[in-house]
Amino acid sequence: MHNPFIKLLDIIAPPLCAYCDKVLDSPSKALCEECMQLLIPVPSPTCFHCGISARPREDELPHNGDLCDTCMHFPPLYTQANAPYFYEGLLRELLPSIKYGKQEVLMHNIAPLITPFAKERILHWHDLHHISHSILVPMPMHWFDLFRRGFSAPMILAKAIQRTLPHTTSLAPMALQKVRRTPPQASLSHAARQLNLNGVLRADATHVAERHVILVDDVLTTGASANQAAQALKKAGASHIFVLTLARTPQA
Ligand SMILES: [Zn+2]
Ligand SMILES: [Zn+2]
C-alpha cells in the first residue's frame, strides 16, 4: 500500500476517473465523486428470482421475495440473480466502450464497483442455504471473441469478487465453456435469444457437480444467457446457482 514506487507512479501518472478523466484522490477508486452519483442503484424491493425492481401493486405493498410477472409464469433455473446498478446512463455508455474498445485497464478499475455488493449477497446466500463454500464461474466467451477482444469482463469481475472472499469462494474459470459463437443477444428478439443460445454452453461436471455456483457476468438483460448457463450447470450436477452482474436492465 505504501510502496514508494506506486506513490511515484501516482505523481507521474495520477489515477483518473474511468468516465470523465478527472484526477482521483485515491488509486483504489474507479470513479470520481460526481460520476459515482451518476450510477443508478437497483432499488428494493426486487423480484426474488431475477432481481428486477418490483413495481408497486395497487392492492398491496411489494416486498423482497415477491415475484415479477415473468418469474411467476416462467421461473428461471437459477435461484437468484442480483446486480447493484441499473444498466442505464453512465454504465450503459461506459461498459460497451470498455469491452469493445479493448480497455482492459479500465475494466480492472471499475471491477471494485461490484465487490461490496457481491460480498454481501454471497454471504447472505451462504447463510440462507447453509453453504460453506461456493465457486465463482465467469460467464464464458467463445475463444475467438476472447482472442479478438483481448480480455473477459466477467473474468475480471469474478477475480475481483474472489479476492474479497478468499476463504468462502474459489474461482472456477473452466467450469463453463462457450462451444459455439452466437450473434449478439441484443440484436435478437426474445424467442430468437433462447434459440440463439441452445446448446452453446457446456459445463464440466468435474468442476461443478454438487457445488454451489455463483455465475458472474457484467450485464443481465433478459436473463436468457444466465438461464442457459444455469441449465448447463444443472445438467452437470451443480446444486444452487446464483447470478451476480455489475448491472442489469430495468426491464427484462
Ligand atoms: Zn468522473
Ligand atoms: Zn423476476
In the predicted structure, residue 2 carries a pLDDT above the cut 70: no
pLDDT digits (tens, 9 = 90+) for 61-114: 455 568 888 888 889 999 999 999 999 999 999 999 999 888 998 999 999 999
- Ligand 1 centre from 18 Cα, in Å? 7
Distance CA 38, CA 224 (A): 27
- Ligand 2 centre from 206 Cα, in Å? 31
**Which residue, chain included where needed, has cell 480497455?**
103
pLDDT score, position 118: 98
pLDDT score, position 68: 85
Distance CA 248, CA 132 (A): 27
- Ranges 153-157, 241-245, 247-251: which has the least confidence: 247-251
pTM tops 0.85: yes
Distance CA 29, CA 18 (A): 9
pLDDT score, position 6: 58
In the predicted structure, residue 56 carries a pLDDT above the cut 60: no
CATH of 39-248, one of 3.30.70.270, 3.40.50.2020, 3.30.70.141, 3.30.43.10: 3.40.50.2020
pLDDT digits (tens, 9 = 90+) for 162-172: 999 999 999 99
Number of neighbours of residue 120 by Cβ within 10 angstroms = 12
pLDDT score, position 65: 62
**Which residue, chain included where needed, has cell 511515484?**
8
Using the CB atoms, write b or e for 65-74: b if 16+ within 10 Å.
Answer: ebebebbeee
Distance CA 177, CA 210 (A): 18
- Ligand 1 centre from 33 Cα, in Å? 7
- Ligand 2 centre from 155 Cα, in Å? 25
Q: Which residue has the higher pLDDT, 184 or 163?
A: 163
**What share of the chain has pLDDT > 70, as a percent?**
85
Q: What number is the average pLDDT over the span 220-239?
A: 94
* pLDDT classification of 222: cutoffs 50, 70, 90: confident
pLDDT score, position 85: 96
Average pLDDT over the chain, rounded to an integer: 88
Q: Which ligand is nearest to the CA of 29?
A: 1
Distance CA 41, CA 90 (A): 12
- Ligand 2 centre from 74 Cα, in Å? 9
CATH 3.40.50.2020 placement within the chain: 39-248
pLDDT digits (tens, 9 = 90+) for 106-139: 999 999 999 999 999 999 999 999 999 999 999 9
pLDDT score, position 63: 56
**Which residue, chain included where needed, has cell 466477467?**
154
User: How long is the chain?
Assistant: 252
Residues with beta carbon < 5 A to ion ligand 1? 17, 19-20, 22, 32, 35
Q: Which residue has the higher pLDDT, 3 or 235?
A: 235
CA-CA-CA-CA dihedral for 235, 240, 241, 243, to nearest 10: 180
- Ligand 1 centre from 109 Cα, in Å? 13
pLDDT score, position 25: 85
pLDDT score, position 76: 94
